[in-house]
Amino acid sequence: MNQTLGTVGEKTVILVNGVPASGKSSVAVRLSHHFALPYLTVDGIKEPFMHCFPQLDRQLNRTLGRAAYQAIWAIVAQAPAQCVYVIDAWFGFQPKDDLRRYLQQAGVTQVVEIWNQVSGELAAARYAARLHQRAKGHPGAEYLPELRELARRATPMALGPVLRVDQSQPLDMPRIITWLQSALSASVSTDSRSSAANSTTDSSYRLASR
């Protein structure tokens, strides 16, 4: 079932955020399909390039990840103002100020975030179970202790409304969809009232204030 979102010409990004193996890709793909929205992911851009290298160490993996992250925002920047993107990433692997800058440069005027909360043990268990499925060049079992600690201290970007999804519980997509529709509709309504009250105010970048 395809539904629309009340973005009314706003260039919008839905950040589906969480540490590796937090369950974010399952959420992002379902949202993309439900609303018929384009879906961008760091791994989706990075992995074809990973296959070009016979040897790939952790540093090169990170370099490709940063390049893929930049590519995502270059794609968003080229899109018309009314476009809405679902972006699946562990956004915490780069500084929050970088994300702010990319959003501004891309002309994004509306951002919401779905934060996939997961314990270190659950993230590590999921990651370990998928080791045989991951593309060559991704960290292996040696990454599990680091992932446990990362999950313990990770937090959302919080540059707009945030929905926290407890990944230790069954996934409630109707709740996520309803929240997303409400958050975006409320944002558009608020922006419209602000514009009517003060038509001279520059509202092209409102992300940090939400």
- pLDDT tens digits, one per residue of 87-119: 999 999 999 999 999 999 999 999 999 999 999
pLDDT at 192 over 60: no
Range 64-81 average pLDDT: 96
CB 11 within 8 A of CB 82: yes
Cβ burial, residue 3 (10 Å; 0-12/13-18/19+): exposed
pTM for the whole structure: 0.86
- pLDDT tens digits, one per residue of 126-179: 999 999 888 788 899 999 999 999 999 999 999 999 999 999 999 999 999 999
